[in-house]
Structure 1
Amino acid sequence: MASVPALLPGAVTAQQDDVQAAPRQPSLVFEPRVSVQHTITSNARLDSTSVSDQITEVIPGFQLISNTARVKGFVDYSLHDVYYARESRFNSIRHNLNASAVVEAVEQWAFVDVAAVVASQPISAFGAPVGGLPANPNTSQTSSFRVSPYLRGRIGAAVDYEARYSVQDTRTKTDSRSDITTQDWLLHLGRRESGRIVGWALDASNQVADYSLGRSIETTALRARVSFAVTSQLVLTGIGGTESTNQLSPTRESHRITGFGAAWQPSERSRLSFERESRYFGESHNASLEHRTGRTVWRYTDIKAISNGLGAQSASLGSLFDLLDGFYTQLEPDPIRRTQLVLAEIERLGLPANVQVFQDFLRSSSTLQRVQQLSLALLGQRSTVTLAISRSDNRSIGGPLQLGDDFDTNSRIRQRGWNLWLAHRLTPNSSIHASWGDQRSVGTLPGLETRVRSLVLGWNTLVARRTSAGIQIRRVLSDGPASPYSESAIVGTITHRF
């Protein structure tokens, strides 16, 4: 993901007057940048050979943020030109792209959602984590592009409708994992207006997921929802329907859908939602909880569903950015200025915007996946503490097919881990930060377990109005039969924004 870090919140009270007094920001912002990064590492390949090297990266890029009447979204792109001092065979050019936008083609009726992600991802759950070293054998550049045109409107005065088509193409440079193309159709009818006690919705959907190394999987579903507003803060929902799929067998089979849900929002700062369904593979659920106070942001999610491998490729400026963007909404309602405010403080602190404990690994078939994530940000006057805890459980549902991924030898892969980030602002223009993390991956193959522990210490400073510099020291230890290694590294970076 894009490396765009987290807002040191001590600025909330100090900056409030400046924000309120500032003139309205333009609806379109374009900012080019260039970075030079030099790494001295004791283990350039992240394996047991421990070959040391020096790596220089020249990283030009830009960020575009649009908040016009017809186009709302962002593009963040960087090109990494990598040079190795000793092993030039690892020299490479890599791309990082995050883009997401909504285009209003016809006012209040026709829209197009577009999204694109290009990033490095881990090939196996048991290899070295993706950490910015191109020589890492467990890294593959993966690209995902999605286009979704849709119509949205109202029939008469009673029924809202949405008709949507989307296509998403995901490709990876490694031959050992599938490319995936999915096509989705959706027709939604319903009514749930504010102030009404009873609402209803009817959704008809069809998805075809085509795996280059596997087979095509098609799922068609019809769902009906009836919601009842117990109070203005609490809404209960009943779910029923049917679906047909060839996910579990070569031929399509039909199954019933039953379920329920609830949404509770006691205040603007707190909301809780839960939905559970009985489906062809068993029970699925989607739960989320978010709470904000004057100095904290809490978020918890628990999702169990079929994963087609596309969940790792979602466009965002970073999960820590998403976490804090909601917090700063109360300070700055203008989305352009709020984004600039958050990103500027994030860069000054040197914290990672993407606080994922581990990235989803590549695979060549659908899996039954449960992911639980807890994130917390404590925002002090000069210090920030961020904690992320994650646990995932992936189960193979592809049967005896041998597709070349981790599930050829494991019917179940579990991952759990945590990361703690600390940042302290020394002066208005400089800060220090530290991160400590632990990640474990366990398979069903006897003895197949990997544990990776990491410690990073860093310092960042603004050397000129639009130029920043930083230095990091990191230590990584990996245990287990799959990829035992250790690494010590020093990383220096200087960035100029035009």
Structure 2
Amino acid sequence: MPVQQATFPPHALRRPGLIAAAAAAALACPAWAQEGPRGWSVQPSVSLQQTVTNNARLEQDGRSDAITQVTPGVRVSGRSGRVQGSLDYQLDLIQYARESDRSTTHNRLSADAGAELVDQHLFLDASASISQQTISAFGRQNAGTGLVDSNSTEVATATVSPTFKARLAGLVDVGARATWTTSRAEDSTAGDYTDWDASVDLGARHGLFGWGLAGLRSSSRFQDGGRYITDIGVATLSVFPTSRFSLFVRGGRERTDALGTGTRYSSSSGGGLTWLPTPRTRLTLETDERYFGRSHSVSVSHRFRRVALTYSDTRGVTGDNADALGPLRALYGQIYAACMQQFGNAALCTQVSRLALGLDPTVPLTFLNSAPSLQRAQALSLGFSGVRNSASLVVTSTENRRLGEQQYIGGDLALVPSVRQLALTLGGVHQMTRQTSLGLSASLLKTLDEESQPGTEQRRLELSMTSTLGPRTQGTLAVRRVWFDSETSPYQESAIVGTLNYRF
């Protein structure tokens, strides 16, 4: 039988502009540090993954296939003077044995950089990411790596943010910040937007009391929608009874056209507190009466000797930092950093971190949208870390609703007034030997019924074994089973996945 040559569709490699822009934004700061290369490390890597699945198209009557994925990558990280940054980039070259016309490429990028341009006064932060994201919450959900899914697309995001800080007369703190963020989706304009945020604030603390004045302008432009601007002016009074407890109240005025009913002026008021009853416990609470109603942000965390518990609950307009997955992203980063210290392989550590936490919170658990929406997100995580065993339980709930009379040209909110999703994940890792670990993860993702759109439910189970095969080589063997229930596109899938990682 002749060997078939791998072919990749031309469009797969025609997106260098946005990819280069995202990478350049995140590497702008490290690029200035080339004169001091001793503080920087560059580590190329390559991985080979072979997937044998009984349902390559994720259809009700699936067809088996063998999928080969070659992934070259590079990790750059370090610090030089006032500049520090890191970059992980991987290019997935995916080849189907039976259906070579489906072969494609995926880009994966995670980059962060920071620089202190003027000592203690002017700073510059930049970040960029490229990942696969879900187009519709009601569509078919992907089963795992190595599979091409029509309901997911490549989304690239870049952010640049300069910050200025100073102290006037040794008494009043002054700050200014601007943030530019742009996002582009490959196969859907619903995920294309550009945000500009600018803020100026000043304040001071005098003994037990503090005060602050701030002004903020937020501008969002969606490819399929319009442009929305929100202006806020707010005054804050704070009190610090102890070093572990603080309270504040605030009030102000805001102007916005994000409700879709023209320009609206309204008052805003609210308050909050921060309490650290023990060195291992932290509670923060904020709530405000805004133009869309009541917003809130609650975060509770506590660390036992081997167990970490976090809970967060936020409600606000998308883009207003209403992020309940923040604590989970921090935990994911800790697991990833510890793995990189031991193995130094980005591809392996990404897989280990996802398995240990049960999900990858760096990838949004949401859908592409064409206008701002009202979002409530809740997340509860429980993590255990022992000498040879670690486990985590994560429960998340997200609800996105139409904002006011806003018109949604694309995305799920153009079809239904709200989208509700529930997710439950359980993951565990057992260190069998110093070189070998065994991992198990189980997850449930449910999209609830909404009017004319029937919901979906995905259950996923994966067992894997990871072993160090040499000083620079790691291997993973995994088996998975996926059940996806849907009125329109149900499927079941079983697969065996073998991965070999080598870092130079």
Tell whether the structures are fold-level matches, with TM greater than 0.5: yes
Paired residues in the alignment total 460
Shift of residue 337 of structure 1?
8.5
2:140 matches 1:139:
no
Of the candidates 364, 371, 388, which is equivalent to residue 382 of structure 1?
388
SS of the residue 1:249 aligns to: coil
Rounded Cα–Cα distance in structure 2 between residues aligned with 1:320 and 1:231: 29
Rounded Cα–Cα distance in structure 1 between residues aligned with 2:404 and 2:194: 17
SS of the residue 1:108 aligns to: coil
2:497 matches 1:491:
yes
Rounded Cα–Cα distance in structure 2 between residues aligned with 1:428 and 1:366: 49
Shift of residue 83 of structure 1?
0.7
Question: What is the match of residue 350 of structure 1?
Answer: 352
The answer to whether the 8 Å contact 2:57/2:149 transfers is yes
Question: What is the match of residue 340 of structure 1?
Answer: 341
Question: What is the match of residue 7 of structure 2?
Answer: none
Instruction: Structure 2: give runs of 5+ residues left out of the alignment.
Output: 1-37
Change (3 A) 1:101 1:175: same
Rounded Cα–Cα distance in structure 1 between residues aligned with 2:334 and 2:181: 26
Shift of residue 52 of structure 1?
1.9
Of the candidates 50, 62, 66, which is equivalent to residue 54 of structure 1?
66
Of the candidates 150, 165, 168, which is equivalent to residue 163 of structure 2?
150
Question: What is the match of residue 127 of structure 2?
Answer: 115
Of the candidates 203, 213, 237, which is equivalent to residue 202 of structure 1?
213
Rounded Cα–Cα distance in structure 2 between residues aligned with 1:382 and 1:187: 49
Rounded Cα–Cα distance in structure 2 between residues aligned with 1:232 and 1:99: 35
Question: TM-score scaled by structure 1?
Answer: 0.86
Rounded Cα–Cα distance in structure 1 between residues aligned with 2:169 and 2:72: 52
Rounded Cα–Cα distance in structure 2 between residues aligned with 1:63 and 1:340: 13
Rounded Cα–Cα distance in structure 2 between residues aligned with 1:183 and 1:243: 17
Question: What is the match of residue 68 of structure 1?
Answer: 80
Rounded Cα–Cα distance in structure 2 between residues aligned with 1:497 and 1:68: 24
Shift of residue 66 of structure 1?
2.1
Q: How high is the sequence identity, in percent, across the aligned residues?
A: 32
The answer to whether the 8 Å contact 1:63/1:77 transfers is yes
SS of the residue 2:354 aligns to: coil
Rounded Cα–Cα distance in structure 1 between residues aligned with 2:289 and 2:327: 31
The answer to whether the 8 Å contact 1:122/1:362 transfers is yes
Structure 1 residues 277-288: aligned runs within 5 Å: 277-288=288-299
Structure 1 residues 286-325: aligned runs within 5 Å: 286-308=297-319, 319-322=330-333, 324=335
Rounded Cα–Cα distance in structure 2 between residues aligned with 1:461 and 1:264: 43
Shift of residue 31 of structure 1?
1.9
Structure 1 residues 116-195: aligned runs within 5 Å: 116-130=128-142, 131-192=144-205
The answer to whether the 8 Å contact 1:478/1:484 transfers is yes
The answer to whether the 8 Å contact 1:126/1:483 transfers is no
Letter aligned with residue 45 of structure 2:
R
Per-residue deviation, residues 219-277 of structure 1 (Å, max 9, x unmatched): 00012211101221110110111110001134211111110100011233221101000
The answer to whether the 8 Å contact 1:350/1:459 transfers is no
Change (3 A) 1:34 1:339: closer
Question: What is the match of residue 233 of structure 1?
Answer: 244
Question: What is the match of residue 15 of structure 1?
Answer: none
Rounded Cα–Cα distance in structure 2 between residues aligned with 1:319 and 1:139: 25
Per-residue deviation, residues 86-126 of structure 1 (Å, max 9, x unmatched): 11122112110011121111111111110101000000012
Per-residue deviation, residues 332-376 of structure 1 (Å, max 9, x unmatched): xxxx88962596798499341773477221111111000001112
Rounded Cα–Cα distance in structure 2 between residues aligned with 1:137 and 1:366: 24
The answer to whether the 8 Å contact 1:121/1:140 transfers is yes
The answer to whether the 8 Å contact 2:416/2:453 transfers is no
Rounded Cα–Cα distance in structure 2 between residues aligned with 1:468 and 1:422: 19
Of the candidates 274, 281, 284, which is equivalent to residue 273 of structure 1?
284
Deviates more, 1:431-440 or 1:399-408: 399-408
Change (3 A) 1:349 1:489: closer
SS of the residue 1:266 aligns to: coil
Instruction: Structure 1: give runs of 5+ residues left out of the alignment.
Output: 1-25, 326-335
Rounded Cα–Cα distance in structure 2 between residues aligned with 1:309 and 1:118: 21
Question: What is the match of residue 23 of structure 2?
Answer: none
Structure 1 residues 34-53: aligned runs within 5 Å: 34-53=46-65
Rounded Cα–Cα distance in structure 1 between residues aligned with 2:338 and 2:499: 26
The answer to whether the 8 Å contact 1:99/1:316 transfers is no
Change (3 A) 1:216 1:315: same
Shift of residue 65 of structure 1?
2.1
Aligned CA-pair RMSD: 2.6
Of the candidates 74, 95, 102, which is equivalent to residue 83 of structure 1?
95
The answer to whether the 8 Å contact 1:321/1:342 transfers is no
Rounded Cα–Cα distance in structure 2 between residues aligned with 1:263 and 1:74: 31
Change (3 A) 1:477 1:168: same
Rounded Cα–Cα distance in structure 2 between residues aligned with 1:54 and 1:338: 30
Question: TM-score scaled by structure 2?
Answer: 0.85
Question: What is the match of residue 364 of structure 1?
Answer: 370
Question: What is the match of residue 102 of structure 1?
Answer: 114
